[in-house]
Structure formats: C-alpha cells, structure tokens
C-alpha cells in the first residue's frame, strides 16, 4: 500500500461521510417540515433524544423552531463535525468546490446553529479570497477554522 492509495481512501471516506450525514439531515428536515414527523435517529441508536426543538428561539420569544441535527445530539455538534470534515475535504481538493461541499454547507446552514453559520461565513470568505492570495494564506485560515471547530 502506497501513500497515494491511502490518501485516496481517506478522501473517499470523508466524501461519503459528508454525503451520508447531509442526507440524514435533509431527510429529517423534510420529514418535519413537509409531513410534521419528527425523526429522531439518535433516540433509536442510543436511547437519548436529540435537542432539535427550541434553542435560542425560546429566549427571544419566537417559540417553536425546528433545528435538525441529523445523527447528532444537537445542531451545534452536527455543524462542528461537518465543518471539520468539510475543511479537510476542501484541503484535499485544493480548495475547489463541488456538489459535496455545497450540500455540506447547505446542511450546516439548515441547522440554524450560530457557530455553524459563522463558520460557513468564514469558509466562504476564505474560498473567495483564494484567488487573490497565496496558498499559504488560505491554509492558515482553514487551519484556524479547523482549530476553532475542534475547540468549540
């Protein structure tokens, strides 16, 4: 086994992880918004309920707000994990965006996680300046974002 084979396998694994997590989140979102059915994957796996209802909306008087979390216990956890995977995926792809990256970004925004929304804004900013700055500059910001997501 050589190094390029391992790198290809890691890229493929990250790609499929992003696609599967996004798919579960989209299904959860459509089930609730379209059919009024709250799918709680986590409850059926661990017995613990996901925290998908409420959040900051309770504090500002909005009331009910559905915030999908996919296979995770809360939307912020989903956002952190997906954004970490996305940053690594984009580093492997030399900062080029494809449908996997777009679906991942949309899924993070659908969680209404404040950390997720802010991190997506940073990712989009970094990708937009990539054409104007050196590669080292962009790698610094992606590593900073990755560190923030891990520490959050």
| The three-state (H, E, C) secondary structure of the chain, written as one string | CCHHHHHHHHHHHHHHHHHHHHHHHHHHHHHHHHHCCCCCHHHHHHCCCCCCECCHHHHCCCCCCECCCCCCCCHHHHHHHHHHHHHHHHHHCCCCCCHHHHHHHHHHHHCCCHHHHHHHHHHHHHHHHCCCCCHHHHHHHHHHHHHHHHHC
**CA distance linking residue 112 with residue 117, whole number of Å:** 7
Confidence of residue 148 (pLDDT cuts 50, 70, 90): low
pLDDT of residue 57: 47
pTM here? 0.80
Confidence of residue 133 (pLDDT cuts 50, 70, 90): low
pLDDT of residue 79: 95
pLDDT tens figures, 30-77: 998 899 888 888 887 887 777 777 655 444 545 567 888 888 888 989
pLDDT of residue 8: 93
Give the mean pLDDT of 74-100: 91
């Amino acid at each position: 086994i050589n190094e390029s084979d391992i790198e290809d396998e890691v890229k493929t694994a990250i790609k499929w992880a992003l696609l599967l997590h996004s798919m579960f989140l989209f299904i959860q979102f459509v089930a609730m918004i379209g059919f009024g059915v709250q799918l709680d994957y986590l409850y059926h796996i661990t017995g613990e309920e996901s925290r998908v209802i409420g959040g900051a909306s309770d504090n500002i008087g909005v009331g009910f707000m559905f915030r999908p979390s996919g296979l995770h216990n809360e939307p912020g956890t989903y956002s952190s994990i997906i954004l970490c995977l996305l940053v690594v995926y984009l580093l492997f792809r030399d900062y080029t965006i494809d449908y996997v990256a777009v679906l991942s970004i949309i899924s993070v925004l659908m969680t209404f996680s404040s950390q997720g929304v802010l991190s997506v804004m940073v990712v989009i900013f970094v990708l937009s300046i990539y054409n104007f700055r050196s590669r080292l500059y962009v790698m610094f910001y992606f590593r900073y974002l990755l560190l923030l997501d891990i520490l959050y």
